[in-house]
């Protein structure tokens, strides 16, 4: 049922109920809300008529919640908390602490998420809101964006994070039973110029006629297939370095090919930077530089 089809009580009735239920006093609620006791009492009566049930048991010198009141109170409190949080974000109440990062899906999963511990350890006040996109970014506001593509540096406030090469990866277990690469299950990401055909040429070989390459719209799928020892996947440094270091994945062949695609950092102009975005950018570039130096 749509919200417009539901008869919601006025917000001031709910505020009077929440305060009265929390304090168990119409008088104390009136003082907190800067209202008269009679106004609070009248709003509670109006709310009770609206829901069709009593919310309080009224005694000579005290009030007590009914079963309906007990059940309704946490619902109302949670709704207020959601409104406060949402309003704070929209109006900038958390500006400087909340950071919206829009990032390529595979980069978010394989590069960004495993490294967030160092960021949050050094900046525990930082609140992240990470949204993901496979190829084309979502059309909404962001503080920082990590985009995967070609010639993205034509935009202002854009920096290429790294040059990458592409190469096959698999688990050690799969490598140990691997025969000819042409006979293995092959996985790749769609739309990538550095693909299996190009890699085979560097070896003076060719993809067998009719050989199927299993494609996905994101490296997240193809690399997870490799991690599951299903076959060989084309990978690149930004995404697989940690897996190679830990030995989860290996490079069964030394050949690699340069990628035309790259990851680009897109940031807001200097005047729109916040403490959160500056902290994130400093951390990001330091992490990328550390990876390049390995």
Summarised one tens digit per residue, pLDDT across range 61-102 is: 899 999 999 999 999 999 988 887 666 665 555 556 888 899
In a domain, 1, yes or no: no
Domain boundaries, position 217: 165-258
Quote the CA–CA distance of 47 and 41 in Å, as a whole number: 10
197, two tokens = 């055909």
Residue 290 — very low, low, confident or very high, per pLDDT cuts 50/70/90?
Answer: confident
Mean of pLDDT values over 192-200: 95
Report whether pLDDT(271) > 80: no
Instruction: Return the pLDDT at 23.
Output: 94
pLDDT at 122 (0 to 100):
92
Same domain, 86 and 119: no
From the list 127, 157, 155, 123, the residue with the least C-alpha distance to 270 is 157
This prediction has a pTM of 0.66
pLDDT given for residue 94 in this prediction = 57
| 138 and 272 together in one domain | yes
Q: What is the pLDDT of residues 3-57, one digit of tens each?
A: 445 688 999 999 999 999 999 999 999 999 999 999 999 999 999 999 999 999 9
CATH code of residue 85: 1.10.10.10
Q: Find out whether 53 and 66 touch, Cβ atoms under 8 Å.
A: yes
Question: Is 40 within a domain?
Answer: yes
Q: How far apart are CA 174 and CA 228, in angstroms?
A: 9
Give me the pLDDT at residue 134, please.
59
- pLDDT tens digits, one per residue of 99-128: 889 999 999 999 999 999 999 999 999 999
- Does 175 lie in the same domain as 241? yes
- Distance in angstroms (rounded) separating the CA atoms of residues 161 and 63: 63
79 and 205 housed in the same domain: no
179 in a structural domain: yes
What pLDDT does 1 receive? 45
Is residue 15, in this structure, part of any structural domain at all? yes
pLDDT digits (tens, 9 = 90+) for 135-162: 555 545 678 899 898 877 655 678 899 8
Q: 4 in a domain, yes or no?
A: no
Q: Do 81 and 38 share a structural domain?
A: yes
Predicted local distance difference test score (pLDDT) of residue 3: 47
User: Could you tell me if 138 and 193 lie in one domain?
Assistant: no
Do both 154 and 204 map to the same domain?
no
Is the pLDDT score of 2 beyond 70?
Answer: no
CATH number of the domain residue 286 falls in: 3.40.190.10
Q: What is the per-residue DSSP string for 237-290? A: HHHHHHHHHHTSSB-S----EE-S-EEEEEE--GGG--HHHHHHHHHHHHHHHH
Q: Closest by alpha carbon to 267, among 155, 157, 122, 110? A: 157
How many domains does the chain contain in total?
A: 3
**Claim to verify: residue 242 and residue 275 sit in the same structural domain:** no
Residue 52 belongs to a domain:
yes
With CA atoms as reference, report the closest residue to 249 among 168, 191, 186, 187. 168
For position 141, what pLDDT does the model report? 63
Domain contains 2: no
- Give the pLDDT score at 4: 47
Instruction: List Cβ neighbours of 272 (8 Å cut-off, separation of 6 or more).
Output: none
């Amino acid at each position: 049922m749509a919200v417009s089809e539901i008869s919601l009580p006025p917000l001031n009735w709910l505020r009077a109920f929440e305060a009265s239920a929390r304090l168990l006093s119409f008088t104390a609620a009136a003082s907190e809300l800067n209202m008269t006791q009679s106004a609070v009492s009248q709003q509670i009566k109006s709310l009770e008529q609206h829901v069709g049930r009593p919310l309080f048991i009224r005694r000579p010198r005290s009030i007590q919640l009914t079963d309906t009141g007990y059940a309704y109170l946490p619902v109302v409190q949670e709704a207020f908390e959601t409104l406060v949080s949402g309003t704070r974000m929209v109006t900038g109440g958390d500006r400087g602490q909340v950071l919206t990062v829009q990032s390529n899906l595979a980069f978010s999963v394989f590069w960004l998420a495993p490294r967030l511990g160092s960021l949050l350890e050094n900046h525990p006040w930082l609140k992240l809101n990470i949204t993901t996109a496979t190829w084309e970014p979502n059309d909404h506001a962001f503080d920082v964006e990590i985009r995967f593509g070609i010639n993205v540096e034509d935009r202002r406030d854009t920096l290429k994070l790294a040059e990458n090469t592409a190469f096959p990866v698999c688990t050690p277990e799969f490598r140990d039973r691997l025969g000819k690469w042409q006979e293995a299950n092959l996985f790749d990401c769609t739309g990538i110029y550095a693909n299996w055909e190009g890699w085979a040429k560097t070896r003076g070989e060719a993809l067998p006629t009719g050989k199927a390459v299993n494609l996905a719209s994101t490296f997240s799928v193809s690399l997870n297939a490799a991690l599951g020892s299903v076959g060989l996947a084309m990978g690149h440094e930004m995404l697989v370095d940690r897996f190679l270091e830990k030995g989860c994945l290996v490079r069964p062949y030394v050949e690699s090919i340069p990628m035309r695609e790259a990851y680009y950092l897109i940031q807001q102009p200097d005047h729109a930077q916040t403490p959160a975005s500056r902290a994130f950018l400093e951390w990001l570039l330091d992490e990328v530089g550390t990876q390049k130096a390995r």
